[in-house]
Amino acid sequence: MTTLALNNVRPYGEDATNILIDVTRGVIEAIGDKRFDDADEVIDCGGNVLLPGLVDMHVHLREPGREDTETIATGSDAAAKGGFTAVFTMANTNPVIDQPFLAEAVWEKGQTYGKCDVYPVGSITQGLEGEQLTEIGLMARRGVRMFSDDGKCVNDPQLMRRAIEYAKAHDVVLAQHAEDHRMTSGAVAHEGEQAARLGLRGWPRVAEESIVARDAIMTRDYGGRYHLCHASTEGTVQLLRFAKDQGIEVTAEVTPHHLLLTDEQLKTYDGLYRVNPPLREARDAEALKQALLDGTVDVVATDHAPHGSEDKCVEFEHAKPGMLGLETSLAVVHRVFVETGLADWRFVAKVMSERPAEILRLQDQGRPIAVGEPANLVLVDPQSPWTARGEEMASKASNTPYEGIEFSARVTATWLRGTQTYGAQQD
């Protein structure tokens, strides 16, 4: 048995302890007050915070089709650097992940590379065209756990009803990108004062909220595991609260950028800030924060969306929507919740690891830091100032909205089943 000791570490930011990992089996072997100095590899963690490996329900790794902007390999590097041990990569690739063999290829590439478990998301409609449902059952049988047309909304209510029914029959998660496209044609920014001042076409809140309301009612009547991608408005929060109060089983995510940034950013017309759904107003960000704190919104998901400079360093209206997220999300969540005293590291573990693993029913992720549990772990130094720089990211793209921003929490190491996937090798 090969062993690794993580000495002087603080699980969930609580009391310092020592952890011994059986690297061969990839599980936590022992936890105790005495340092494990005889392990094959011994790391003194200097009292840093240990969390279960993070799980991201929503990324875009662009393979197949746009390997010039990200690949499963570079995306896995970015994920490991951000503290993630599992990610779900969306189906809006080229070709679209709408058949079992395509989904299997994504999973296998991720496993071969070995830095992060990359779960494929299957599309709800063939080619994301919003017309014909995919073979949800066939893909589900081959292990696809979540289906989404993300990037596009399943607008047609009859089609959505069928999708909900099929997803229920196959017991998979259906994730909706809520945007009534009939209200957002040509829109590039949140519809409000800021867009009006800047002369940008607006994307009103109601385009999201009307779909959320409809889908909540459909979920009430037709069942299934409905998940809302990137909730972005105060009204969406109210609707989710209403749905949950009625006992409707919906889950929802919020992105780090919708928690920290607002449409104030748009004043420079920098395409880096174009994203879908758009950055909204302070009151939306505030409502989303409260919703995550009280469980109305379940998880943080990055919507990591790499784009090349040819698609970002252009006029705002021509910039493609999307922002990098994997390498900055933990730092942003730390800034918004931990630094401010709104929440602790237990909360971070819950919304970035435990809840997403639970929603996707991953047996080996988001587990407690305890003996016998899988050694999917991330070590975080809460006080190690660093500055976000797109050029320095492991991601192939560099479209971070946090360029030049200083953060204090830094991921120092990540382990997937006991194998280090990120961080300086120590002896």
Residue numbers in the known binding site for Zn(2+) are 58, 60, 150, 177, 230, 303
Kindly report the number of other CB atoms within 10 A of residue 315's CB atom: 9
Q: Which residue is nearest to ligand DOR (CB)?
A: 322
Which does residue 325 bind out of ligand DOR, Zn ion, none, counting CB within 5 to 8 angstroms by kind?
A: none
The span from the CA of 121 to the CA of 173, in Å, is 10
Residues 183-212 that bind Zn ion (CB under 5 A): none
Closer residue to ligand DOR (CB): 9 or 319: 319
Residue closer to Zn ion by CB (options 271, 277) is 277
Measure the CA–CA gap between 327 and 13, rounded to whole angstroms.
20
Q: Which of 60, 177, 257, 396 binds Zn ion (CB under 5 A)?
A: 177
Catalytic annotation present for 303: yes
- Give binding residues for substrate as ranges: 60-62, 92, 276, 307, 321-322
Beta-strand pair 146-148/202-203: unpaired
Distances (CA, A) of 7 to 17, 41, 42, 54, 401: 7, 11, 7, 21, 36
Structure tokens at 359: 């929603």
User: Nearer to ligand DOR by C-beta: 227 or 350?
Assistant: 227
CB of 204 to ligand DOR, least distance (A): 17
Beta carbons of 66 and 395 less than 8 angstroms apart: no
Q: Interface residues for Zn ion in 228-247 (CB under 5 A)?
A: 229
Structure tokens of 40? 């094959």
Whichever of 63 and 303 has its CB closer to ligand DOR, that residue is 303
| Contact by Cβ (8 Å): 116, 421 | yes
CB of 305 to ligand DOR, least distance (A): 4
- Residue 227 found at the interface with Zn ion (CB under 5 A): no
Nearest distance, CB of residue 203 and Zn ion, angstroms? 13
Instruction: Indicate which residue of 77, 98, 117, 303 is catalytic.
Output: 303
Amino acid, res. 413: A
Burial (CB < 10 A; 0-12, 13-18, 19+), residue 200, is: buried
Which residues lie near ligand DOR (CB under 6 A)? 60, 92, 150-151, 177, 275-276, 303, 305, 321-322
Q: In this structure, are residues 80 and 422 in contact, taking their beta carbons and an 8 Å threshold? A: yes
Binding partner of residue 321 among ligand DOR, Zn ion, none, CB cut-off 5 to 8 Å per kind: ligand DOR
Q: Please give the DSSP secondary-structure letter assigned to residue 123.
A: P
Applying CB under 5 A, the span of 145-153, 253-261, 290-298, 337-345 interacting with Zn ion comes to 145-153
Residue 159 burial (10 A CB sphere; 0-12, 13-18, 19+) = middle
Q: Which is nearer to ligand DOR, 192 or 278 (CB)?
A: 278
Q: Choose the one of Zn ion, ligand DOR, none that binds residue 60, judging by a C-beta under 5 to 8 angstroms depending on kind.
A: ligand DOR
Give the dihedral sign, CA 212/216/218/219.
positive
* Cβ neighbours of 112 (radius 10 Å): 9
Number of residues counted as binding Zn ion (CB under 5 A): 3
Which residues belong to the active site?
303
Binding residues for Zn ion, rule: CB under 5 A, are 150, 177, 229
